[in-house]
Amino acid sequence: MPKPYPPEFRRDVVAVARKHEARLHQIAKDFGISRGLTRKAGPPVHDDLVKRKFTATRPNQLWLTEHRTDEGKIYLCAIKDVYSNKIVGYSIDSRMKASLAVAAARNAIGQRTIDGTILHSDRGSQIRSNAFVRVLKNNGITGSMGRVGACGDNAAMESFFALLQKNVLDRQRWSTREELRLAMVVWIERTYHRKRRQRRLGKLTPVEFEPINMALKAA
C-alpha cells in the first residue's frame, strides 16, 4: 500500500493549483471547453416522459435530441426519430447558441408530420432556452428532459454521436470548419441514412425501414 503524502507536499500542490487556476480556465475557454469545467446542467423545463424507454411504434412518436462539439469548435444539434433511427433534423454552426437547437427543431418540423410527438433531450442551456421551448409549443410538440448524471438516460442519441465520432471526426485532421461540416452532412445523408444497415431495424437502413414498415401496417 503506498505511503500517504506528507502534509507539506499536499500544501504545495494546493498552492500551485491555485496559482495556475486562472490560467487553466483561460486555456479551457480558448478551446471552447470552459462551460464543462464550471457549470452544472440547469433545471429541467420539461418532465421526463420517456424514463429511458427509447421505443416507438410509429414515425414521429418519439424524437431525441442532443448537441455535441468537436475540437475545432463546430457544433452539431441533431434530432433522431426513435422509430427508424433516422436523423430527422439537424443544425451545424460555429457558435453554440439557442439558434442552433432552434434551427435543428425547425429542420425536423419542416420535414415531418407532428403527431403527438415527444421530443426528449438533455439539459443543455440551448435546449432549455425560451426560444427552443417556444418552437416546441407552437408546433404541438411535447418536451421531455432526462436526469442529470444518468449516463444511460439518452443512450439512443449517444450511439449516433459515437458513430459520427468514429466515422468522421476521428478519420483525419480537418483543415477548415466548412470541410468538416460538409463531411458530417455527407456521412449523415449518404452513409448513416442510406448505407448503414442496423440490426434493430431488421438489417434495413433508416430510409428503407419507414416506408416498408408503414406499408406493411397499412396492408
User: Where residue 121 falls among pLDDT bands split at 50, 70, 90?
Assistant: confident
> What is the C-alpha separation between 48 and 50, in angstroms, rounded?
6
Q: Which domain holds residue 19?
A: 7-38
* Residues paired with residue 14 on neighbouring β-strands, in sequence order: none
Which CATH number is 178's domain given?
Answer: 3.30.420.10
**Using one digit for the tens of pLDDT, what is the confidence trace for 46-56?**
556 565 555 56
CB count, 10 Å around CB of 79?
24
Q: Which amino acid is at 148?
A: V
Query: Average pLDDT for residues 169-188, to the nearest whole number?
Result: 88
User: Where residue 136 falls among pLDDT bands split at 50, 70, 90?
Assistant: very high
Task: Let me know whether 97 and 182 are in one domain.
Answer: yes
Residue 123: what pLDDT? 72
Say which residues have a Cβ less than 8 Å from residue 48's Cβ, sequence separation at least 6: 120, 144, 145, 146, 147
Task: Let me know whether 34 and 118 are in one domain.
Answer: no
Judge whether residue 186 has pLDDT over 50.
yes
CB count, 10 Å around CB of 204?
16
**Using one digit for the tens of pLDDT, what is the confidence trace for 59-73?**
555 554 444 444 457
**Using one digit for the tens of pLDDT, what is the confidence trace for 90-105?**
999 888 788 988 999 9
Residue 217: what pLDDT? 79
Task: Let me know whether 164 and 114 are in one domain.
Answer: yes
Task: Let me know whether 12 and 103 are in one domain.
Answer: no
How many domains is the chain partitioned into structurally? 2
**Using one digit for the tens of pLDDT, what is the confidence trace for 21-36?**
454 444 344 433 333 3
User: What does the DSSP 8-state code read for residue 116?
Assistant: S
Residue 177: what pLDDT? 83
Judge whether residue 175 has pLDDT over 50.
yes
Task: Let me know whether 197 and 157 are in one domain.
Answer: yes
Residue 72: what pLDDT? 52
Q: pTM for this structure?
A: 0.69
178: in domain:
yes
User: Where residue 107 falls among pLDDT bands split at 50, 70, 90?
Assistant: very high
C-alpha grid cell, residue 16: 500551485
Among 9-13, 34-38, 197-201, top mean pLDDT goes to: 197-201
50: in domain:
no
CB count, 10 Å around CB of 44?
18
